[in-house]
Amino acid sequence: MATFEITEFQQRLRNTKQKMIDQGIEVLLVTDPANMNYLSGYDGWSFYVHQLLIVLLDEEQPFWIGRSQDGNGAKLTTWLDENHIIPYPEDYVQSTVKHPMDFVCNILKEIGQESKAVGVELDNYYFTGKCFLQLQAGLPQASIKDATNIVNFVRIIKSEQEITYMKRAARIVENAMQKGIDSIQEGIRECDVVANIYHAQISGTDQFGGDYPSIVPLLPSGEKTSTPHLTWTDEPYKAGDPVILELAGCYRRYHAPLARTVFIGEPDPKVKYLAEVVIEGLNATLDAIKPGITCEDVENVWRKTIEKSGFTKDSRIGYSMGLNYPPDWGEHTASLRQGDKTILQPNMTFHLIPGIWLEQYGVELSEPFRVTENGCETFANFPRKLFIKSESKIY
């Protein structure tokens, strides 16, 4: 069963249709799995084959189109009537001779939509170049419009229920982060630490279990902390290694990501200093966040705070997030960076992650937060410091 009231799905759909009208779109093809979930409740690991929702302005429910095998999954997880679930035959799957978008074109013709303004999520992972070309060839009378992120921008302000889910995700990430930091020790293999983290992420709490986060735990160590997106190895940790942990708790596809940095043994003064700079910048930035200011205002606070240290950071310091599927937990809407003039509003939710990666090492500390009526509230409650693990372990 879907995880929200039908009325909430209906409101989401009304908000989406308003944006469609604003942008002159009559038919919206929703291929982003998070957007599909947001509008229909659909949840399954089937996004490795082509699937989508069709949203029509005058149709109360979207149509779900996916692989035949997944039709029962759509019946079990969405709020849609059975006649809005349209499976395509299995021989369309990863075929070199048939393409699922041809099936979609035929459905659009059957329901009289072949000459409409059709919006597509042009820069979404799950709308390939081939999807675009097949659609263009299959619906020569349609005008195809770029509707990337239309639904994502509807998602940017969270409902109370969504906030509740993100708070549960935060309880999970606190547990998982603690388990990870407790497990890191000279001589322990990286994979054994990550195994403990995963266990905590999925087991969750006594009250509720965890869902899979959209990104695996990122745990670079040593020189690999000079870059943020390496995962782990089966090598044992060494004294003198910094270790970055970036990982999320996830509850019903809603995320609370968190990053911390650990040093094994007596910390290198350079790493310690970099951590102090990041923490000071993070704290100052959180203090300044409130409704009415823009994303670039937030980034400015960070920039000015760390200026005196001599360090610079040219990447964004955060991004809107919440509901998502692999490969990203970010929402692809607002980013905390120069030039982003999105105005903060209550119940926007971000991951503030001002990491700094130098040539030989890096430091990350992050906080997921929601904008409140007069400031912001961090989801997780976890010490903001460089964690130090003694070398005393006997093995």
Site for a copy of itself in 32-61 (CB under 8 A): 43-48
Residue 343 as a binder of a copy of itself (CB under 8 A): the answer is no
Which of 2, 107, 117, 122 is close enough to bind a copy of itself by CB under 8 A?
A: 122
CB nearer to a copy of itself: give 13 or 356.
356
Termini Cα distance of the chain = 49
CB nearer to a copy of itself: give 319 or 379.
319
CB nearer to a copy of itself: give 13 or 36.
36
Residue 278: both structure tokens together = 């990041």
Residue 102 as a binder of a copy of itself (CB under 8 A): the answer is no
Comparing CA positions, the residue from 165, 149, 125, 166 lying closest to residue 16 is 149
Q: What does residue 45 show for φ and ψ, rounded to 5 degrees?
A: -85, 70
Least separation in angstroms between residue 231's CB and a copy of itself is 6
Task: Pick out residues in 223-262 that bind a copy of itself (CB under 8 A).
Answer: 223-224, 226-234
How far is Cα 296 from Cα 335, in angstroms, rounded to an integer? 8
Task: Pick out residues in 56-95 that bind a copy of itself (CB under 8 A).
Answer: 68-73, 76-77, 89-91, 93-94
How far is Cα 388 from Cα 343, in angstroms, rounded to an integer? 38
How far is Cα 120 from Cα 139, in angstroms, rounded to an integer? 13
How far is Cα 128 from Cα 252, in angstroms, rounded to an integer? 27
Residue 341 as a binder of a copy of itself (CB under 8 A): the answer is no
How far is Cα 243 from Cα 107, in angstroms, rounded to an integer? 52
**Which range of residues in 125-133, 155-163, 268-276, 294-302 is near a copy of itself by CB under 8 A?**
125-133
Residue 270 as a binder of a copy of itself (CB under 8 A): the answer is no
Least separation in angstroms between residue 267's CB and a copy of itself is 21
Q: How open is the CA angle 252-258-261, to the nearest 5 degrees?
A: 150
Task: Pick out residues in 345-384 that bind a copy of itself (CB under 8 A).
Answer: 357, 359
- Collapsed DSSP state (helix, strand, coil) of residue 320: strand
Task: Pick out residues in 140-199 that bind a copy of itself (CB under 8 A).
Answer: 146, 148-149, 189-192, 194-196, 198-199
